[in-house]
Amino acid sequence: MPLTHATYCPVAYPVLADARLAGRRRNRPPRPEGLSYSFTLPGEPHCAATARTAVRSALYAHGLAPYTDLAELAATELMGTAVKLTPGRELYLSLRYRMGALRLVLWDQHPRHTNPDDVSVCAERRRGALWLLATMVGDCGGEWGTAEAEPPQRGVKSWAVLPCRSPGLGPGAQDWGGMRA
């Protein structure tokens, strides 16, 4: 028999009702503050398209469509660099909206170097490959970077933080390179 209405856990429902949370989110679209997605993707070049599609869908669903172009470009640059430096290994992409900014973080499985010279050469190569990301993030007043992932993660963590205005986007909204945001 098909389920025609939402059901609640009988133990949790009284707590939700007391907190006036039961049914509160019904028929309301997701809010930007709820944007919190993570994906594991194969480390293959074609997966950048999958990441772009997922980022676009998430931003549209949460009312952050004006930031789609920049977030897609950031995800593509992060993924492309990771695929080039660690081909064939899984990548983990995280997309969040926190404190007025979109935060994209990508972890790859780049092996740890033991030779300090190799560490600096590899880090410089990665920073150089992310020149377009650096330019774009700089133009919108954001931040980006790379670092060795801290345990329990392994590999390299790369990120981009893209500041956003509130989704109302009325007069005075930011202008990112000709795109009204």
CATH of the domain at 122: 3.30.565.10
Residue 15 covered by a domain:
no
160 strand-pairing partners = 104, 144
Residue 18 covered by a domain:
no
Q: Count of domains in the chain?
A: 1
Residue 168's SS3 state is coil
Instruction: State which H helix or E strand residue 180 sits in.
Output: strand 179-180
Residue 17 has pLDDT above 60, yes or no: no
CA dist., res. 43 & res. 147, Å (int): 19
* pLDDT tens by residue, 116-151: 888 888 888 989 999 999 999 999 999 999 988 887
Contact 145, 157 (CB under 8 A): no
Contact 180, 164 (CB under 8 A): no
Nearest to 146 by CA among 163, 159, 164, 137: 159
> Whole-model pTM?
0.75
Residue 73 has pLDDT above 90, yes or no: yes
Residue 181 covered by a domain:
no
Residue 49 covered by a domain:
yes
Contact 90, 42 (CB under 8 A): yes
Residue 160's SS3 state is strand
Question: What is the extent of the structural domain holding 118?
Answer: 32-168
* pLDDT tens by residue, 77-113: 999 999 998 888 999 999 999 989 999 999 999 888 8
Residue 105 covered by a domain:
yes
Residue 180 covered by a domain:
no
CA atoms in the 13 A half-sphere facing the CB of 90 = 6
102 strand-pairing partners = 97, 162
Residue 156 has pLDDT above 80, yes or no: yes
Contact 79, 47 (CB under 8 A): yes
Residue 93 covered by a domain:
yes
- Cα 164 to chain centroid, rounded: 13
Chain position carrying tokens 């995800």: 75
